[in-house]
Structure 1
C-alpha cells in the first residue's frame, strides 16, 4: 500500500489507522521505505526496523482486539541519540561512545511513549555531545538540510537528524533536546515546527546531559496540533480537551534590542510579513526594548556561559585522556575554554539567572515575545567545514537569539514563517515566561492558523 507521508501530521496518520485505511505495520514499512529512498545515511545513527515492525504488529493486534494503549497507538517516532532506549547504545554521536553498553532501562519520556503505543523507528544523529547549533558531525556525517538546492545546507543543531527526519517526511514526529537552541534552530533551518520546553516540564532521567542547568527536552512535528498531543504523551498524561470558548489573544512583544540586530535582509522581510499577518488577525503587537536581554548579553561577556562550564566538567576525564583526540576538534576546543572559568563566575551566573527569571515573569506576565528564530538562513556545509573560524562565528550567531531563552528558562516554539529567495526556510520564535508551556502551545495553535492562511 502506498501511504502518503509527505508533511502528513501524526494526527492525520492516527485518523487513517483508526479508519482502517492502513495498518501500523504498513505505516512502519512506509517509513523505512522513505528512509531508504531518501538515501541520507547521516540522518540516523541506529535504525530499529525489526523491533519497530514487531511493535507495529502488536499494535495492530491491540487495535483488532479493541485494546489500544492510546489514540496514537502505532504511530512512529524518531529519537535523538541522547535518549536511553533499551538494547541500543546511547552514543551522543561521539566516536568514543560507539561501543558503550546499551542501557537496561529507557528514559522516562521513552517509556511514557512506549506505554502509549508509539513506535521507535531509530535514533538520530546530532552534533557531538549536543554541542553546536549547526549540526555538523565528523564521526557519523552531517545530515543534509532537505531544502538544499544549489549546495548542501546545514541542518542546524544539535538535533540535526531529528529535524531532518521530520522535514524530509521520513517520520511525523521526532524528539530533540535544546540547551542553547538545539531544537528551535534546526526547526527554523529545516522549515518545521519545533517546541523547546521549560527545563522542568519533562522528566529528564535517562537523557545524556550537556548542561544540566540549561538542558530541556523538545519535539519536532508538522503542526502545533501534533506537538500538543505529543506533549501530553511525553509527560505520561491524558490529553485534556481545550476549552470550547476561544482563548483571548495574548499581547505580542517584539524586542527591539539584541535579537533584531544584523538580520539577513530576507529574514527581516519575512518577519515583517509575519507581523503584518498577526496584526491583521487581531493581535496587538508592541515593539519595545527588552532590557533583560541586554543584561544577559553583558553577563555572558563578563562571566562566560553555564554551558561551557558544565559541559567541560561533565567531560573532564575524557578531555584529560588520549580519547580526547577522537573528539570533534571544534567541540573539544569549545570545552577547553572552560579553563578560564572560575567558581565565582559560575555562582554569579546562577544567582543572576534566578533574579532574571523572576524579572521576566514580572515584566512579561502572560505576553509572548516574538522575534526571528535565527538571524540568518541555513549556511553551506562545505564552507563551515573548510573554515573553523567561520564555523565558530556562525555558530555563535545562529544561537544568539535562542540561547537567551535557555538562560531565562523560557519555553519557545519556532513556527515556519516563509522562505528566502533560494528556498531556505525561515522561522519565527514565540517565547513565554518560565513554566507557561501549555499556555504557549495553545496560543501557538491559533497563531499557526494565522500564518498558514
Structure 2
C-alpha cells in the first residue's frame, strides 16, 4: 500500500488524481474492513480533493480521518459517547483540523474511539468496536483510544489518522495494527478544539503508513520544519531499558523485538542495555489515579451528575477515581513529576533514543475483553499491559515513535523509539534509519 509521499509523487506525474484517491478511500469506509471504524463519513469533501491537489498543497487533497475528539465546524463532537450526541455543533474547526485543511487535507470522516479516550484497548459499547485489519480470521482489538483512526490508515481509508495520545492512544493502536504512530512533545501541537482527557498529558498527533509520512504529518500539525541529519545507524547510540519495560512480553513480541535489535546491531548501531530504576517510581507517583483521573473528573463531574448512567461503566469507573484525589496530593504529584523527569532525562543523556517494544503483547481477541462485567478483569489486565510502556513517555513529557518490527505474515508488533521533551527531530530522524533497516522484513 503506497504511503502519502509516494502518492504525491504519482499525482505530480499525472498518475491518478486526489479525487480518485478520495473516492477509493470513501468506498473503503463502507467496506467490511472498516465496520465500526467511522462514526460519520464526509463525501462532500470530494470537491476539496481536486481543488487542493491543483493548489499543490503539502497534503495534495488526499484523504485524512479525524478522531471524534476534535471539533469540525458544523458538527457535534461526541468523543465516542452517546451522552454528548446532542451537543451543539462546533462553531469552528479545532486547531489541528484547521492546520490539516490549510495543508490541503480532504476529511474523509470522523473515526470511532474509546469513549472519552479513556482506555488503550479500543472497545466501545455504544458504537461497536472496529476489528484489527491485521487478522481476518479472528476479530481482534485495534487498540485505543484512537481505534477507528488506526483502522482507517491500516485499511487505506486515510493516509493520516488524526488522534490524541494521553497514555499511548496513538502508539498502541499503531503497534497492534502494524502502522506508524508518532507522539510528539505535547507543547508542539495545539489542543484547542479537542475534548480533553488530561490537560497535563494530552498530545495531538497522528498515525501514518510510514515514518516519512509521520514527519510530514508532524510538520503540518506542529507548523514547524523537522530538521533531519540523516545520520546512518552506525553513528546512532540507543538504550534498551531492562527495568520493567521488557517484563511480560508474549513470545511473538519478544522474538520480534530481539530480531529487530539484531538487525540494528548488524547495521552498525550501538545498543546498550541500561537499568532505569526511576521507572519503578511511576506506580507510587500515580497510585491515586494520576493526572488523568483528577483532570478528567474535573471536566466530567457535572456531566456525570446529569448523565452518568449513559457512560461506559469501565470509563466511568476510571474517571471517578479522581473524586478521591485531594488538592495537596495533586500539587505533590506535579512536583514529584518534575523531579522524576529530571532524573530520567539525566539517565538518557547521550542516547539518540530508547528502544522498547511499544506494547508487550499482540492484539487479543475482541471477545476476550468485550463489554460485560464478566470480562472486566480481563479488560483491565489487558489495558494495564497496553499502557505500561507507552505511558512512561507521557509522564516524561517526551516524544515517541512506534513502527512495525514483526515478521511478514505474523501479528503486528511495534518497536518504539523514545526520548524526553524536544527530542522529536532526533527520534524521527533515527526512526527513518531504523525503518529502512527493518523494511525488508515486511
Please say whether Structure 1 and Structure 2 have the same fold, judged by a TM-score greater than 0.5: yes
Q: What is the match of residue 120 of structure 1? A: 107
Q: Does the 8 Å contact 2:33/2:133 carry over to 1?
A: no
Task: Decide which of 310, 318, 338 is 2:322's aligned counterpart.
Answer: 338
Deviation at 1:235, TM superposition (A): 2.2
Q: What is the match of residue 150 of structure 2? A: 163
Corresponding pairs, count: 436
Q: Does the 8 Å contact 1:249/1:443 carry over to 2?
A: no
Q: What is the match of residue 359 of structure 1? A: 343
Q: What is the match of residue 347 of structure 1? A: 331
TM-score between both structures, scaled by the size of structure 1? 0.92
Unaligned runs of 5+ residues in structure 2 are: none
Q: What is the match of residue 14 of structure 2? A: 20
Q: Does the 8 Å contact 1:79/1:175 carry over to 2?
A: yes
Q: What is the match of residue 380 of structure 2? A: 392
Task: Decide which of 18, 37, 45 is 2:39's aligned counterpart.
Answer: 45
Matches within 5 A, 1:313-328: 313-321=298-306, 323-328=307-312
1:79 aligns with 2:66: yes
Q: What is the match of residue 98 of structure 1? A: 85
1:109 aligns with 2:96: yes
Q: What is the match of residue 414 of structure 1? A: 402
Query: Structure 2: how far apart are the matches of 1:347 and 1:419?
Result: 46
Query: Structure 2: how far apart are the matches of 1:384 and 1:356?
Result: 33
Kindly tell me: are residues 417 and 204 of structure 1, through their superposed partners in 2, closer, same or farther at Cα, counting changes over 3 Å? same
Q: Does the 8 Å contact 2:230/2:429 carry over to 1?
A: no
Q: Does the 8 Å contact 2:133/2:177 carry over to 1?
A: yes
Unaligned runs of 5+ residues in structure 1 are: 1-6
Kindly tell me: are residues 417 and 350 of structure 1, through their superposed partners in 2, closer, same or farther at Cα, counting changes over 3 Å? same
Matches within 5 A, 1:141-290: 141-237=128-224, 239=225, 242-243=228-229, 249-290=235-276
> CA deviation digits over 1:28-79, x for unaligned, max 9?
11111222234533101111111x112123225xx2xxx43x2332121111
Q: Does the 8 Å contact 1:8/1:172 carry over to 2?
A: no
Kindly tell me: are residues 352 and 240 of structure 1, through their superposed partners in 2, closer, same or farther at Cα, counting changes over 3 Å? closer
Query: Structure 2: how far apart are the matches of 1:286 and 1:28?
Result: 45
Kindly tell me: are residues 436 and 241 of structure 1, through their superposed partners in 2, closer, same or farther at Cα, counting changes over 3 Å? closer
Kindly tell me: are residues 141 and 366 of structure 1, through their superposed partners in 2, closer, same or farther at Cα, counting changes over 3 Å? farther
Deviation at 1:350, TM superposition (A): 0.8
Query: Structure 2: how far apart are the matches of 1:420 and 1:451?
Result: 11
Deviation at 1:175, TM superposition (A): 0.9
1:381 aligns with 2:386: no
Query: Structure 2: how far apart are the matches of 1:240 and 1:210?
Result: 28
Deviation at 1:361, TM superposition (A): 2.4
1:54 aligns with 2:47: yes
Task: Say which is worse superposed, 185-194 or 332-341, in terms of deviation.
Answer: 332-341
Q: Does the 8 Å contact 2:189/2:205 carry over to 1?
A: no
* SS class of match (1:315): helix
Kindly tell me: are residues 159 and 366 of structure 1, through their superposed partners in 2, closer, same or farther at Cα, counting changes over 3 Å? farther
Task: Say which is worse superposed, 28-37 or 369-378, in terms of deviation.
Answer: 28-37
Q: Does the 8 Å contact 1:250/1:366 carry over to 2?
A: no
Q: CA RMSD in A?
A: 1.8
Deviation at 1:338, TM superposition (A): 2.2
Query: Structure 2: how far apart are the matches of 1:49 and 1:362?
Result: 50
Deviation at 1:432, TM superposition (A): 0.8
Query: Structure 2: how far apart are the matches of 1:383 and 1:420?
Result: 25
> CA deviation digits over 1:125-155, x for unaligned, max 9?
1000000000000111111000124321000
Query: Structure 2: how far apart are the matches of 1:173 and 1:233?
Result: 11
Q: Does the 8 Å contact 1:86/1:104 carry over to 2?
A: yes
TM-score between both structures, scaled by the size of structure 2? 0.94
Query: Structure 1: how far apart are the matches of 2:230 and 2:340?
Result: 35
Q: What is the match of residue 3 of structure 1? A: none
